[in-house]
Chain A
Amino acid sequence: MSELEVQADFAARAGQPGRPRRLGVAETAAGVLALFLLVSAVAPHLVAPGDPLGIDPLSAFAPPTRAHVFGTDESGRDIFTRVVHGTQYSLVIGAAATAIGLGLGIVLGTLAGMLGRVVDFTVNRFLEVLFAFPGLLLALLFIVIFGPGVATATIAVGLSTAPGYARIIRAQLITVRSAAFVEAATVLGRTRWQILLRHILPNTLAPLFVLATLGIGQAIVWAATLSYLGLGAEPPTAEWGALLSAGRTYITSAWWMSFFPGLFIVLTAVTATVLGRSIDSRMRHA
């Protein structure tokens, strides 16, 4: 950093050491949306008191009105109610898939980063093989073997994101392992395990949780894709991908059936991304 930049940096931060940056419009909106999604997932009846499976053939294919804000489907079920009740599936699938991917990535990445050249070489070749397949193809392969369903779709998405996490963890471990502060801990007479637990792992994993937040958005989109293809949640479950798929047949006459579930998939993914980036930039400048 040149002296000039340092000065500019100091000037920018002058008088407010450690005070957090003000929230932007996007961050505020994402925060409100995240809160709404969380409430929808935990207590959907608070947001939409109706029954997501309750049919009402008389008001089938109703366009968005005051009674049905998102309209109704071919059986007269309220789309808004179904979308709100579907939040829990999408969020749980997204979080679980990311946890699986991250967990597997941590195991593989730590093996590669800590256990010497032979293990590193083997794990790396294995990861390269996984990387050679597009992520979704890998997930499809897994589903072909184990059959469709919410559980398999979740595991499939988790599996296909694992190589990316593993790579990042390995690179981070190798950087942190040779950092000056690790050497300083050795000079202070710390054992290998103390250094690993107190310095190397926290510094490797902390940045990953930010990445995981970003990953949840991606996992939700992928899980919805699988459901849309009929390989994840199956109708009449109100999962967003499944809703999208159900609306596809009527897209020319009843656009709202696919539009609103699609809107929620996009908004959720964007929310996760905006929050992830915001946390990331705050941690960098903390």
Chain B
Amino acid sequence: MSTTARRIEPDAALTVRNLRVDFGADPVVRGVSFEVARGECLAIVGESGSGKSVTARSLLGLAGANARVSADRLELGGQNVLGLTDRAWRARRGKDVGLVLQDALVSLDPLRPIGREIADSLRLHTTLGAAARARRVLELLDAVGLPDPARQVQKLSGQLSGGERQRALIAAAIALNPPLLIADEPTTALDVTVQAQILALLEQITGDGTAVVLISHDLAVVSHIAHRVAVMHDGLLVETGSSRQVLGSPRQEQTRRMVAAIPADKPRGTRLSLSARAADAAPKPARPATSAVVLEAIGLSKSFRRPDGTRHLAVDDVSFALQRGTTLGIVGESGSGKTTTARLLLALLPPDQGEVRVLDQPWSAASEKARRGRRSGVGAIYQDALGSFDPRWSVAEILTDALGLRHRRRAPQTTARLVTLLDQVGLTAAVLRRRPLELSGGQRQRVGIARALAARPEILICDEPVSSLDVSVQAQVLDLLDDLQRERGLSLIFISHDLGVVQHVSDNIVVMRAGRLVESGPATRVFAAPQHPYSVQLLAAIPRLSP
């Protein structure tokens, strides 16, 4: 259907020919052409820095004050919009083209009720009276599936959940029935189950005849609702075609890399990053399983005081055991108590009840003084690698400190040890003198892993270690952790909200919800035959490439 729609030009909601954007120096978008028909969803997929967001914003005249935008054609609904003044753009935004952004929390005014936010575009672009506007807002909230709209219109954005906020934002974007909707990473900050709902809503909007341009870094997410996929890399569209064709039989190197990097449904031990060596492509043999327990959580509970004085039970009677040389995945959505669990395991928080034991010795029950000497056995990798480094320190200082040595009196053999450490995580000595701020996200996480490895731990506790990384970088980091585990017999606790990632890395799985452990068991069993209804729901929401 997309091919027929493309041939009928007047039907095109958006036509872009040879779009170029630069910010003075290097061009960010280097000649991009595509069109979107009414009722069609085009996904532009690429990693950070590929130019996809800048492309999307150029379609709304929002590329930025110092951006130079040029194109052979840039038409919205057949009308040229290239070089429009700000004033002319304002008349079109909301009416001819709507925008949905990633983070609804910052996109909505925190001090105005969402009803007023949504009514804004109606007030600016229509002659509707106050009563008619209020009616229309309720209709819109109903259309985007927000329960009990009459009550919700009064709420501030901070009082809504992430999914509700995103729905409100979509309601504001479609208030004037724009023929074209641009959604820039609309589900990136959301939990999987909520993400699935928002995607269904966007699909429904497309079905109603709106053209949708969906910007995303995640191929699996877009594969369900996009009719066509355009893969962007380095400012160029490297591959465009129907979703089935692009994702099913990618022709370009860049696309293949991205498809390969999707972790869901790839067996444990499969390489995610494409490698030149054929031997790497085959799944590695499973390690011999041992039954020795290295870390054990027994009936852990932890509660926090809320601002209003009541107590919030963040972790509620959770027990599990980590066996030597295996990976235990802990999954759950935001608010499930994953991070509190990680902090309990690292003995950064004392549990209210229960105990953590490491190598059959008391861990949480020991004093910090007694524990300090054994801390080298338990390493940690954090989601925000940058924040976990002292901002004043260079990579060399960070790693020297992790080795337990002083940077000032660094001996030549220390430098050799640093280089070995970096080599294990695939970095070169060139980064030693840099500060983490000057490194890329993937490099930072590698330095974080190198730091955790420096003390030769037996157990690594990884809290969302790849959540802030691009898929292909995520693939490399996951492969690295897998290699290190294989070589060193590391035992890993892998905490993530991303079931696809957890499925790929874990031997055993713990599913958490609202502080409670709802299901646990071998990963293959839990993923093949989940017992608890919540696990079933969570598994169904995993973004997979649609067949």
A-to-B contact residues, CB < 8 Å:
2-4, 6-8, 10-12, 14-15, 17-18, 179-181, 183-189, 191, 198-199, 202-203, 206, 286
Contact yes or no, A11 B348, CB < 8 A = no
**Residue in B373, B391, B435 whose CB lies within 8 Å of A189:** B373
Pairwise interchain contact B54-A199, C-beta atoms closer than 8 A: no
Q: Chain A nearest CB: distance from B472 CB in Å?
A: 16
Q: Is there contact, CB below 8 Å, between B389 and A189?
A: no
Cβ B375 vs Cβ A12 within 8 A: no
B23 touches A8 (CB 8 A): yes
A-B contact pairs, 19 of them (CB 8 A): A4-B57, A4-B64, A7-B28, A12-B24, A15-B25, A179-B387, A180-B387, A184-B380, A186-B348, A187-B346, A187-B348, A187-B375, A187-B379, A187-B380, A189-B373, A189-B376, A198-B390, A203-B392, A206-B392
- Look across to chain A and name the residue whose beta carbon is closest to the beta carbon of B22: A11
Shortest Cβ gap from B495 to chain A (Å): 15
Contact B375 A17 (CB under 8 A): no
Neighbouring B residues of A18 by C-beta, 8 Å: 438
Contact A191 B389 (CB under 8 A): no
Starting from the known contacts A12-B24, A183-B388, A286-B435, 7 additional A-B residue pairs (CB-CB under 8 Å) come to A3-B53, A4-B64, A11-B28, A17-B438, A179-B387, A188-B376, A202-B392
> Interface residues of A: mostly helix, strand, loop or mixed?
helix
Contacting pair B25 A188 (CB below 8 A): no
Residues of B with C-beta under 8 A to A179: 387
**Interface bits B516-539 vs A (CB < 8 Å: 1, else 0):** 000000000000000000000000
CA distance A8 to B451 in the complex (A): 31
B102-137 residues at the A interface, CB under 8 angstroms: 102
B305 within 8 A of A: no
- Min CB distance A180 to B, Å, is 4
Q: How many chain B residues touch A (Cβ–Cβ < 8 Å)?
A: 37
B-side contacts of A183, CB under 8 Å: 348, 388
Q: What residue of chain B has the Cβ atom nearest to residue A200's Cβ?
A: B390
- Which residue of the partner chain A has the closest CB to B384? A180
Contact present for A3 and B48 (CB under 8 Å): yes
User: Once the chains bind, are A7 and B49 in contact (CB under 8 Å)?
Assistant: yes
Tell me whether A188 and B348 are in contact (CB under 8 A).
no
What are the residues of chain A within 8 A of B375 when measuring CB–CB? 187-189
Q: Does B378 contact A (CB under 8 A)?
A: yes
The residues in B between 8 and 24 inclusive whose CB is less than 8 angstroms from any CB of A are 23-24
A206-B384 Cα distance, complex, nearest whole Å: 23
The CA-CA distance from A17 to B440 in the complex, in Å, is 12
Partner of B390, one of A3, A7, A11, A203: A203
Contact yes or no, B25 A7, CB < 8 A? no
Most-contacted residue by chain B among A3, A10, A191 (CB, 10 A): A3
Contacts of A206 in B (CB 8 A): 392
Q: What's the Cα separation between A202 and B391 when bound, in Å?
A: 10
Q: Which of B53-106 contact A (CB under 8 A)?
A: 53-54, 57, 64, 66, 102
